[in-house]
Structure 1
């Protein structure tokens, strides 16, 4: 079953690649693909590795990693509307303040991470279930 699903996925990837290749100039596709590699290898991977290295000694590093991963995913989802060309001809297209929405979402993630960390700390001090000695 794994082979069938893998072959179907590969066939769909090839089909999608052919559709993109036919609808644009070849240079546009190559530039877009090269940009993805440069962005990943030059920005995202070093940033993630550096943050992971800096967080190596933290006790709640799993909580911090989860919060950072959530914040990164929120930012990636918001990038298309944040990078849209302004102004738009139709005012009903993307009418909200998406920068404010992203900042509120990131603040909620930070507050929840702090509250979760404080709850874990309080349980540990009270000898709760997270305390290996209690």
Structure 2
């Protein structure tokens, strides 16, 4: 079964490359834009976002109580992903191709609202965890 899934993955990767080739050969602007997405995104994540979120999560997890540890670290990860996904639309001069209905909104406001929802969920989860831990009987007793 593993070989079948591997072969399907390699086949789909080849099909994606075949579909991507005309866009890469079309113009230098398309090549630069696609390069930004296909190379810049993973580099940004691996070189900046993941280490920063990991270090901040490690520091915060040492500072907050047990009830808040998982919600706060999860909120950091989700916030980092939302921010990384919004960068191309916030950085308008290098924005991706225009997609009708996608660019006619305030992306910064949408990001702020999404982050507010994430951190409200973190607050709710932390309060629930704190109440649950304070109501639990002591260990070993």
- The alpha carbon displacement at 1:7 in A equals 0.7
Q: Tell me how large the CA RMSD over aligned residues is.
A: 3.4
Matched, 1:73 2:81: yes
Q: Closer, same or farther in 2 for the Cα pair 1:7/1:93, shift >3 Å?
A: closer
Shift in Å, 1:92? 6.1
Q: Deviations over 1:87-133 (max 9, x none)?
A: xx9x96622222112101111211221122122223333x247x646
Structure 2 counterpart of 1:55: 60
Q: Distance in 2 between matches of 1:99 and 1:133?
A: 50
Structure 1 residue 38 corresponds to structure 2 residue 43 = yes
Flag the 1:36–1:109 CA change in 2: closer, same or farther, 3 A.
Answer: closer
Greater RCO (CA < 8 Å, at least 6 residues apart): 2
Aligned to 2:4: 4
Deviation at 1:85, TM superposition (A): 4.4
Paired residue secondary structure (2:103) = coil
2-structure distance, mates of 1:12, 1:92: 29
| Larger proportion of helix | 2
Q: TM-score, normalised by structure 1?
A: 0.70
Q: 1:20 to 1:4 in 2, by over 3 A?
A: same
TM-score after normalising by structure 2: 0.67
Aligned length: 129
Q: Which residue of 1 aligns with 2:104?
A: 95
Q: Which runs of 5+ in 2 are unaligned?
A: none
d(CA) in 1 for partners of 2:45, 2:3: 29
Counterpart pick for 1:118 among 95, 103, 127: 127
